[in-house]
Amino acid sequence: MFMTFSGHLKNKTMNTEKIIMYDSPEAATYRTDIEGWVSSSGCFYGKQEESARYAGCTHLKCECGNIMKRGWNKCDECRNKAAIERYDAFPFREWDRKEPVCTWDGGRYFFNEDEIISFMEDEEEYGRTEIDLLICEPNPWRQIDYDYWSDGFAENDDGELPKELEDKIKEINRIIKKLPPQSWSPGKIRTKYKIEK
């Protein structure tokens, strides 16, 4: 059961905002007094009708025929379908109950089973008993790069760091390697959690 959590897939402004379609006369008009196309915002585009129409419209038609807000290349429905297809293309593995997981869109992270259950109980009004997730990948702490100081060397300098500083950098980088991850990102392995009732 695939669930949409991300608000960016839901266009809440569509009902309150005036819709000006790309091919509407409101989006752009051809002016004979100045010989060219003018967008609804008043910008002159000369012979570039497509640019004037795009600048003057608020919505366009998706290739499926649905209306979409300008700035997107697909409507909500097509974006959601594409997201499901991308998610389903990832390999599946059972969750080991130890690795961090997140919702398929990376909108919510879970570090234990109780957090998932609590989240699903909050969503109970939607009747959710299972959730599609991604197993997270660790983001290690960045090590200190020797090139950090390279722009501070004089032109005739050979660019070598003092030995004492080099030794300390090696020591710090050894410590950094042993640290737990700094953060987590959505991985490329999907999993599922189901509440047994």
Name the residue ranges covered by the structural domains of the chain: 146-180
What pLDDT digit, counting tens, does each position of 132-143 carry? 999 999 999 999
What pLDDT digit, counting tens, does each position of 153-186 carry? 666 566 677 889 889 999 999 999 999 999 999 9
What pLDDT does 126 receive? 58
Whole-prediction pTM: 0.65
Please say if the pLDDT value at position 68 is more than 50: yes
CA-based nearest residue to 191, from 88, 83, 108? 88
Q: Grade residue 4 by pLDDT with cuts at 50, 70 and 90.
A: very low
DSSP per residue over 102-118, as a string? EETTSS-EESSHHHHHH
What pLDDT digit, counting tens, does each position of 12-66 carry? 444 567 888 888 888 888 888 888 898 988 889 999 999 999 988 999 999 999 9
Mean pLDDT of 108-130: 81
CA-based nearest residue to 62, from 43, 45, 48, 82? 82
What pLDDT does 17 receive? 75
What pLDDT does 158 receive? 67
What pLDDT does 125 receive? 47
Round to whole Å and give the CA distance between 60 and 75.
9
Mean pLDDT of 122-139: 81
What pLDDT does 118 receive? 85
Q: Grade residue 9 by pLDDT with cuts at 50, 70 and 90.
A: very low
